[in-house]
Amino acid sequence: MARGGVVWLAVALLCCCFVRHCESARVFTIINQCKTMVWPAVTPGESFGGGGFALKPGQSMVFTAPVGWSGRIWGRTECDFDQAGNGSCATGSCGSELKCGGSGATPATLAEFTLATKDFYDVSLVDGFNLPMVVRPLNGEGNCSVAGCDGDLRDSCPSELSKKVNGRTVACRSACDVFDTDQYCCRGMYGNPSTCQPTFYSKKFKAACPTAYSYAYDDPTSIFTCSNADYTITFCSTRKRPVCTYHNNRLICSASTRSWPSVISALLFTFLALQFSL
């Protein structure tokens, strides 16, 4: 085979591997920027175990989820688990287990994902709010907007929605959860986008988290798409904080929202190496 043919075959094979990797898994980095511990939880899928774990302030955890997974990621607060992983949390509990096998209790801020050729993702306050959260795609293609919060809704939660522990507001319940009316729950005659409109309470939620779902039909400014991306989910962050991701087993933060994928560098390096070695 001619030298040029060998070079381009190698590049093509590397490209195929890259595409196969992108289509098979997404890398998630979960970061705790809160001043207290958070216990993130992940719903399982058909070929994905999900689970839960503890993160001290400043800690992070990386996991991969396969394309085809559709699920939620959220943070639990003020938990107390024994060595066997049994216990309880003030917010976001999934029964008495550290490693969640299903959805958590409301109220809780949710990051929701459907992974496919084009990923769909959002941050949702429809089930209430317990922690500020930001979802940021990394090195993706398409819209790839940052979803989530600019503030902590617990600081301004209306008293009638407050969930309190020892006199402290630990979460903000949804108006649907508290009042259970068709208007607040977007059901019955309010069960469509034209009749279910923002309320006083959903506007409060939207002010704290401008690119998050504040009620059921808050789609235009709340659901986003991205292809071939990895994601960071950061607790107690804002949309304007630096991007953080893993590289060579180290957490690196940068003010840039975009960077060349490392695989492109690898392809160029391989191409040049083959040129000089053949």
pLDDT tens digit string along 194-212? 999 999 999 999 999 999 9
Task: Give phi and psi for 234, each to the nearest 5.
Answer: -120, 125
Residue 157, both tokens: 């939660």
Residue 94 is part of which domain span? 3-277
CA dist., res. 66 & res. 56, Å (int): 27
Backbone φ/ψ region at 222: left (φ over 0), alpha (ψ -120 to 50), beta: alpha
CATH of the domain at 197: 2.60.110.10
- Specify the pLDDT at position 244: 57
3-state SS assignment for residue 264:
helix
Residue 84 has pLDDT above 80, yes or no: yes
- Specify the pLDDT at position 48: 78
Mean pLDDT of 232-258: 64
Residue 23 has pLDDT above 50, yes or no: yes
- 45: confidence class by pLDDT, cuts 50, 70, 90: confident
Q: Which of 147, 144, 115 is nearest to 218 (CA)?
A: 147
- Specify the pLDDT at position 50: 83
Name the average pLDDT for the chain: 83
- Specify the pLDDT at position 242: 62
pTM for the whole thing?
0.80
Burial class (CB in 10 A: 0-12, 13-18, 19+), 121: buried
Mean pLDDT of 74-97: 94
CA dist., res. 129 & res. 126, Å (int): 8
- Specify the pLDDT at position 9: 36
State the total domains in the chain.
1
pLDDT tens digit string along 105-157? 999 999 999 999 999 999 999 999 999 999 999 989 999 999 999 889 999 99
Q: Which of 76, 96, 98, 100 is nearest to 88 (CA)?
A: 96
- Specify the pLDDT at position 150: 87
Residue 276 has pLDDT above 70, yes or no: no
